[in-house]
Amino acid sequence: MERNIRADNYFGQKNKWRRKIKVTEVHALTTENRVPVNTIGFRPVDLLQLEFMGEERSMASGEIPPAGPLLHPTSDLSPYDRRLYAIGNENFIRDPFGLTDLYNSLRDLFTGISQDRQGVMAAAAAEGNSVEEPPFATICSPRGKKGERVTGKRVSFILRCRNEREFRRLWYVVQTVLGYDKLTVRPYRGLPPYDPRNGVTFSHIPMTMWHEFKALDGSVFYNFTCGDVVGPTSDNSYEVQRLLTNVCMFITHDMVYFMRNSGNIPRWIRLQEVRMVQYNITARDPFIAFLCDRPAPDTIFIPRKTEETFDSRDVLIGLDFKPELQVIRARHVLHDSCMASLAVRRVFAIDETFDHNVQAYVDRRRKAGTPLCLVARDQ
């Protein structure tokens, strides 16, 4: 168990390692018990608690654990380097938690373990000996002098991660390792953390809203963003107003849903009906617009942070909410799921606009003779 690992010290040489635990179970406490987020004493890190259960193991004096996937940078920056969260960092936009790199590292690690074991068994067979294949895919626990199983004191402890990136990565690694030994279900049922049909990284339910949307756990979606659907209230009115407030936008391989905390879906879009996506990251309120074939309505969505539904992805990493980052992430998801898909349903245009606000965007299209149709479907 590490202590005070700084951002520039991934291998722990400058720190003293206190304990060594063989982990057999891990639980994310937020998924089991609701954490009230509107209380005075609430801290975002209260949502990032992992409970570990296992057996204590003896630790030699001065022992330093070998570098593993969590103790060195995989292909990106330190979680405390603000360049990681820059809008121009394509890796962060497409894979905010770097789970693809972890998946590749763990796959190579266990492939190496398997090959080493096969080599030992082949060498023993060549000498006329036999080596019993171990029951675990990972490294086996040490044995006593007579080969008996060494058991340690049962322990349980809780780790509170400093940010959501650390939380997701630690949870993913431990689940994956335990899953290889069939002690728990592996993340994504053993599949990589991206959709193999198009390479788009799976999104996650923010821990702040887990209990509201836990029914979606296990569902395949690529984007989760909170905000408002805006536009004129009728064909005869050109003033932009909020049509739907505090909704969450989910993007899947063929649909875009706008869902309330109650589970109600007041609006949805079939991607096969989309003919153009326009987005704006320079406006006062960055937005993304879905322009559809009739009779499907056009939809304008503004990512927005509210007291009730704030995006924990930014809050829990200690940064201010960045609506332009949410727009760019949605744009990348739509582009990759459409253009890179092995089974493209329809290729639509994706354009950037530079109007100073949504009202100017709506007015410009109206004056150009291409007004938006924002009448919602009946629900």
pLDDT tens profile 215-236: 888 788 999 999 999 987 766 6
Average pLDDT taken over every residue of the chain: 79
- pLDDT for 362: 92
**Residue 311 neighbours by CB under 8 Å, 6+ apart:** 206, 225, 226, 303, 305, 321, 326
Taking each helix axis from N to C end, the angle separating 164-180 and 99-126, rounded to the nearest 10 degrees, works out to: 30
Determine which helix (DSSP H) or strand (DSSP E) holds 24, and give its type and residue range. strand 20-28
Whether the pLDDT of residue 194 is over 80: the answer is yes
> Positive or negative, the Cα torsion across 4, 91, 340, 350?
positive
- pLDDT for 73: 47
- Mean pLDDT over 90-106 rounds to 87
**What residue segments make up the domains of the chain, in order of their start?**
20-190, 207-367
- Of 194, 352, 368, 197, the residue nearest 279 (C-alpha): 352
Buried b (16+ CB within 10 A) or exposed e, 276-310: ebbbbbebebbbbbbbbeeebbbbbbbbbbeeebb
CA angle, 322 as apex, 10 and 198 as ends, to 5°? Answer: 75
Q: How confident is the model at residue 340 (pLDDT cuts 50, 70, 90)?
A: low
Per-residue model confidence as pLDDT tens digits over 145-184: 666 666 778 889 898 887 788 888 889 999 998 988 888 8
Whether the pLDDT of residue 112 is over 50: the answer is yes
Q: How confident is the model at residue 342 (pLDDT cuts 50, 70, 90)?
A: low
CATH topology of domain 207-367: PH-domain like (2.30.29)
- pLDDT for 363: 92
Q: How confident is the model at residue 308 (pLDDT cuts 50, 70, 90)?
A: very low
Whether the pLDDT of residue 128 is over 60: the answer is yes
Q: How confident is the model at residue 375 (pLDDT cuts 50, 70, 90)?
A: low
- Mean pLDDT over 98-124 rounds to 84
Pair of tokens at residue 55: 């057996």
Most confident range (mean pLDDT) of 33-42, 52-61, 110-119, 279-288 is 279-288
Whether the pLDDT of residue 346 is over 70: the answer is no
CA distances from 290 to 140, 230, 275, 353 (A): 53, 12, 8, 13
- Of 213, 187, 215, the residue nearest 201 (C-alpha): 187
Pair of tokens at residue 287: 């937005």
348, 267 in Cβ contact below 8 A?
no
Model confidence, pTM: 0.81
The more confident residue out of 18 and 200 is 200
